[in-house]
Amino acid sequence: MRGGLARYRRLLSGPGMLGCGTAALASKLQGSMFSLSLLFTVAPGRSYATAGAVVAVSALGGIAAPARGRLLDRRRYAPVLWSVLAVHAALVAVLLVNEAVHGPLPITFAMALGANVAAPPVGVVTRVMWRFVTSQENRSTALALDAVLADVGFIVGPMLVGVISSLLAPSVAMAACVLASALATALLLRALEGREPAKSVSGEQSWKGSLASVPLRMLLGCAVFFSAAVGGVEVILASHGGELLGSVLVSVLSVGSIAGGLAVGALSPARAARVGRLPQLLLYLSMAGVLLAVSDAGQVVLTVVLVMAVGMAFGPCFVALYGQTAELSPAGAAAETQAWVGAALQGGTALGQAAGASALGAWGFGRGMALIPLFALLGAGLAFFTGRSVTAVMTE
C-alpha cells in the first residue's frame, strides 16, 4: 500500500503536475454540474417536466464532440478553447436572461442545446494532456488518477450545485459551471504549453478522420457496451429499494470505482498492463453482474458488497479504455479520437439507462440486472477482437 501511494506522490511531485491534477478535477466539474444546474434553473419558472425536457435536448449537443476534437487537432489549443468558451458563456447568459424574464420556451431550448454544442472540450484535452506531460513509467498512474477524479467530480459537482442553488440561486450555479470551465481551460493550456501534439493538415487524412481505423471503431463499440452496463446498473440500483437505499447503492458504486482506479494506479506499469487488460476486466464485470443479478435483493449487506464488487471494475475499465484509445489514435488526431470515445461512452450510458429502466419495470430486479453481464460480455468480445485486429495490423 505504501509503495502504491508513493507512485501517486511521485506523479504529483513532478514539475507542474499538481496543476495538471487541478485542471483535470476542474474539467470533471463541467459535466457533473451543467445538467443539474440547468434543471434547477428552468424548473422554478416552468416545471420539472419541462426542465427535464430541456436537459434532454441539451444532451444532444454531445454529438458535436468529435467536431470540436478535430478542430483542436488542426488549430492551436488556446484560440479554439477560449473561442468555444466565449460562445458557451454567451449562450448560457442568454438562457439565464430568458428564464429571468420568463421569455419564450423555444429560446431556452435553443440556448441549452447550443451551450452544450459549444461546451469547452476540456475533458478531451485532459485525456490528451496526460499522454504528453507524463513518462511511460507514470502514465498508468496518471490515467488512474484521471478516472478517480471523474468519480470525485460526479460526487462533488452535484453537491456544489445543490449548495449554491440553495444558498444563492440556480443561475449562480450555472455561472459557477462556466467559471469551472474557464479555470480548467487556463490550467490545461498552462500544462500543455510547448507540449501540444502535432497538428494534422486538412487533406492529409481520410474524411473519416479517426474512424478510418478499424481497431478504433471496434474499441468504440466496446466503449458503448461497457458504458451501457454502467448506465444500466446505475438506473436499476437507483430505482431499487426506495430513494434512500437507491442513493446509497449508487454511492457505493462510485466508491468501488474509486477504489478500483486507485488500485490500478498504484501498480507498476508492467503489473498494471497485466491486470488492466480490457477483455479480462469486462469478464470480471460480467461475473460480478451475474452474482448481483442472482443474489437476494432483500439482503442489504450482501447487495452492498456485490455492488462494491461491480463498481471496482469501472475505474480500471475507464483507465484501460482511455489508454488503448490513445494508443490507437492516428497521428495528428489525438483530440478527435478521445472525443469519439467520450461520445461513445455518453451514447452507451443513455442506452443502458433506457434499457435498465425498461427491464426493471418489466422483469424486476434480478432479471432486469441480467442485462449488465450481457452488455459486459458483448464489450469483452469486442475488446478481444480489437486486440486481435491490432496484432494483425502490426504483423502485416
Residue 316, SS3? helix
Q: 208-396, superfamily in CATH?
A: MFS general substrate transporter like domains (1.20.1250.20)
Class for domain 16-196, per CATH?
mainly alpha
Residue type, 308: M
Domain with CATH 1.20.1250.20 in the chain: 16-196, 208-396
Task: Count CB-CB contacts under 10 A for residue 190.
Answer: 12
What is the chain's pLDDT, residue by residue, as a tens digit (396 residues)? Answer: 455 678 888 888 888 888 888 889 888 988 889 988 999 999 999 998 899 899 888 988 888 999 999 899 888 999 999 999 999 999 999 999 999 999 999 999 999 999 999 999 998 999 889 888 888 888 889 989 999 998 898 888 888 999 999 999 999 999 999 999 999 999 999 888 877 887 766 555 555 678 888 899 999 999 999 999 999 999 898 877 666 788 788 889 999 999 999 999 888 888 888 888 999 999 999 999 999 999 876 688 898 999 999 999 999 999 999 889 988 888 788 899 999 999 999 899 989 988 998 898 888 888 889 999 999 999 999 999 888 776 655 455
What is the pTM (predicted TM-score) of this model? 0.87
Q: Judge whether 240 and 297 are in contact, CB under 8 Å.
A: yes
Q: Determine the Cα–Cα distance for residues 313 and 379; give it in Å rounded to an integer.
A: 13
Q: What angle do CA 164, 191, 128 make, to 5 degrees?
A: 90
